[in-house]
Amino acid sequence: MSDQLDILRSLAKKTDSKIVMVVLDGVGGLPLTVNGDSELAAARTPNLDALAAQSQLGQVELVGAGITPGSGPGHLSLFGYDPLKYVVGRGALSAVGIGVKLEAGDVAVRGNFATLGADRVVQDRRAGRPSDAKNAEIVARLRAAMPDIDGTPVEIYTESEHRFVVVFRAAGGAALGANLSDVDPQATGVPPLSAQAHDAASARTAELVNTFVARAEAALAGEPQVNGVLFRGYSDVPHFPSFDDAYGLRAACIASYPMYKGLASLVGMDVLEVQGEEDALDGKVQALTQHWAEYDFFYFHVKKTDSTGEDGDFAAKVKKIELFDTLLPGLLALNPDVLAIVGDHSTPSKLATHSWHPVPLLIRSEYGRKDVATRYTEEEAQKGSLGLRRGTDVMPLLLANALKLNKYGA
């Protein structure tokens, strides 16, 4: 059976219409109490409410029922790539996002700086979210401590806050495998895990990872917060069909966090320069406005709706949703032919982590049918005419609403 991308490639046509996909990272939430409001429902969002009244709404499952998606699979699904077929680890996404070139046989891995207590128990998986400057200081210390591990070159890079990237380079032509278990237990109150290889090709990589973890803890022993490292998301060099090849779109990415820029790069989007801090968002609207004439498709990413959910801070997540609402008129002023607002997964403050719950989807275009939903919330999305969709349905819907698909069949 043909891949959906093959079908869309055969139907795609170029037009002057423009599509904006806004991804409010982790936007889906839950009420703190029975019959209470979710973060979206609690937020004061007059602009989103007005937009919802002109749009079609529905819900999206990014991977499948009951499956909690990571950010990588969630985004790939929204971009139209089956996340069960097109698999990439966070390490490659982060590495590509900060401009690191991976070669065949290399393995990249995403790291978290963490706070470890007595008996190496994880107290904080994000080490209090250190500043980028503190991150760079710690990375410099680790680089000095281990430029290589037993002859295998090791490269260490700052990503942002508690995140960093390590690339283990294939030495002497001996390729490293990326099929191994995580060090990050994704929980507190337990020690880091030991990396275990799942095949022979990854045995050397597991040794490198475990040695890195031990040496890092020794080098950071005097630090009160940033005194441990957690790894997950090993990956080698990924190769995906490009947006231009699959959809005939000139696509651009407007994002601040390296991982999301890496995702966009992997599918052939141009990554635009964004000025200012993530919290402000003004720089993203400015980048969109400046480059409006150059592209057919814009991916516009908002991170802090996820970060605040991961921190378990309901009120802060509400404020980040309200901040986006104040910027919405700047997007609408450009009058995109198709505007979508969606999440890559849910991150309820109540759970302080990603969850399996569907995310609300909004699509506004000239060709949308009348809908009964009146707000961009989980509850209203359940009433919407778009129904419950797979994440891979989003791109075909956007292309159709932009009149960028020919008829299928005679």
pLDDT of residue 68: 96
Cβ-Cβ contacts under 8 Å for 300 (sequence gap 6 or more): 20, 21, 22, 23, 254, 255, 284, 288, 331
Tokens of 214: 């031990």
Question: Which CA distances in Å does 342 have to 25, 26, 192, 314, 380?
Answer: 8, 9, 34, 19, 14
166 and 114 in one domain?
yes
Residues 28 and 118 grouped into a single domain = no
**Tell me, what's the pLDDT at 1?**
37
Q: What string of pLDDT tens digits covers the 410 residues of the chain?
A: 358 999 999 999 999 999 999 999 999 999 999 989 999 999 999 999 999 999 999 999 999 999 999 888 999 999 999 999 988 777 888 888 788 888 888 999 999 999 999 899 999 999 999 998 999 999 999 999 999 998 899 999 998 889 999 999 987 667 899 999 999 999 999 999 999 999 998 999 999 999 999 999 999 998 999 999 999 989 887 778 999 999 999 999 999 888 898 889 889 999 999 987 776 688 999 999 999 999 999 999 999 999 999 999 999 999 999 999 999 999 999 999 999 999 999 999 999 999 999 999 999 999 999 899 999 999 999 999 999 999 999 999 999 999 999 999 98
Residues 231 and 245 in one domain: no
Which spans in 14-63 are helix H?
39-42, 46-52
Residue 286 lies in a domain: yes
378 plus 254 within the same structural domain: yes
The pLDDT assigned to 160 comes to 84
Specify whether 354 is located in the same domain as 217.
no
Residues 282 and 200 in one domain: no
Q: What is the CATH number of the domain that holds 351?
A: 3.40.720.10
* Cβ atoms < 10 Å from Cβ of 72: 27
